[in-house]
Amino acid sequence: MHARGFVVVTLLGLAAACGARSTLFAPEAERRDPFCGDGLVDPGEACDDHNEVALDACVPGCSLARCGDGIVWAFVEACDDGNLVSGDGCTATCALPSCGNGFVEAGEVCDDGNGIDTDDCPSRCLPATCGDGFVQAGVEACDAGAANADRPAFLLLQGALVRPVRPVTGPMPLVSFYDYGSASAHTGFEELGASKLFLYRDVTPNGLLGLVAVHGVDKNAGGQIQPPGRVEMSFFGLPTGAFVAASDDTKGEFSLLDPTTARGDWQFDGNTDGGALSGLLSPGAWVIDVVPSFVQGIERWEWEDGSGDAIVLDRTATARIVALDVPSACRLDCTIPVCGDGILDAGEVCDDGNVVSFDGCAADCRSTD
């Protein structure tokens, strides 16, 4: 007998002695009860990996794992909800929803499938808008993010309202800039009953920053801080806290501020300690945030310009007052200010819509002629 024949006979003999069935050499008719999971790919099976593990490439039932079978394929699929539909929490490719995948899903308004922030659908999957921090190509010249956000706010530059705010409904407090363009111009706060409240800072150690009522709940308490029914406020760049006294007086007098406030400088007196404080607005902005939970007795905020027109602000209004010597890097409508655009910006004394001198406004917008 040849050596090869001897080896084959020996192997077959060993297999028979151990009671094992030979799947290598026995005819298919000799196999007993084939089943899914026996490690052999039988007719009707796409695979058979000898286990019943559901998370591998061969799922129970001896089918190949695929997106849409309702079983999450470990390390391959992030999800599998049993269908090939996007927008239902698991995409058609068995990936979790994400901005930039080209499908508009929950929490998204748009999704153009790219990470480009200068088109009409930036990487946040919200439509491009002034204030989102992305400069939209061909539409915006700049975008300062939150500083340009479309929220109830106004920017005061030398007494000019640069950007109107969206109208809101409901009772709100009121903010006004009085006598715009005149020597007595100033920023004030009032209740619709016409009581006047003005910003001041106490000069005593740890003094309060606040708003003093000319006439308050107690009509004899002119020039005094009125604690009842006050609006809590916070200031950016200025110390401590501030408040507005709620009042119901109707006299409407101006008596606390010096006329020099018309040019951006300020002087406050009538403080409870008799002190006074004055100076020029520092570069940057004053930001006044009203906390709605403290609004009591004050009905609404609104802007009043020189013509008497009023624009209502939200209770969470932010009033920004920018110093004259600080150019506006990016307007609230995401345009860049330039002399001659007809809009009075920080650093400009006038702007008549051109760069021609001897027509009442110099070509550099820094003086009248």
| Residue 289: CATH number of its domain | 2.60.40
Q: How many domains does the chain have?
A: 1
Its domain, for residue 300, covers 154-323
Higher pLDDT, 331 or 76: 76
Q: How high is the pLDDT of residue 145?
A: 67
Q: Is 22 part of a structural domain of the chain?
A: no
Q: Is 202 part of a structural domain of the chain?
A: yes
Beta strands in the chain (DSSP E): 58-59, 63-64, 153-157, 160-161, 175-178, 186-190, 196-201, 209-213, 231-236, 241-244, 265-268, 277-280, 285-290, 301-304, 310-313, 318-322
Q: Specify the range with the lowest mean pLDDT, choosing from 41-50, 88-97, 100-109, 293-302.
A: 293-302
Stretch 250-264: mean pLDDT, rounded?
25
Q: How high is the pLDDT of residue 75?
A: 86
Q: Is 279 part of a structural domain of the chain?
A: yes
Q: pLDDT tens across 205-229, in order?
A: 343 333 333 332 233 333 333 332 2
Stretch 69-77: mean pLDDT, rounded?
89
Q: Is 30's pLDDT higher than 70?
A: no
User: Which residues lie closer than 8 Å to 108 by C-beta, 6 or more apart?
Assistant: 99, 125, 126
Q: Is 235 part of a structural domain of the chain?
A: yes
Q: Are 348 and 339 in contact (CB under 8 A)?
A: yes
Using CA atoms, how far apart are residues 121 and 109, in angstroms rounded to an integer?
Answer: 9
Stretch 34-55: mean pLDDT, rounded?
88
Q: Is 249 part of a structural domain of the chain?
A: yes
In the chain, pLDDT over 90 holds for what percent of residues?
6
Q: Is 236 part of a structural domain of the chain?
A: yes
Q: Is 52 part of a structural domain of the chain?
A: no
Q: How high is the pLDDT of residue 108?
A: 80
Q: Is 129 part of a structural domain of the chain?
A: no
Q: Is 306's pLDDT higher than 70?
A: no
| Res. 119 pLDDT band, cuts 50 70 90 | very high
Average pLDDT, the chain: 55
Q: Is 67's pLDDT higher than 90?
A: yes
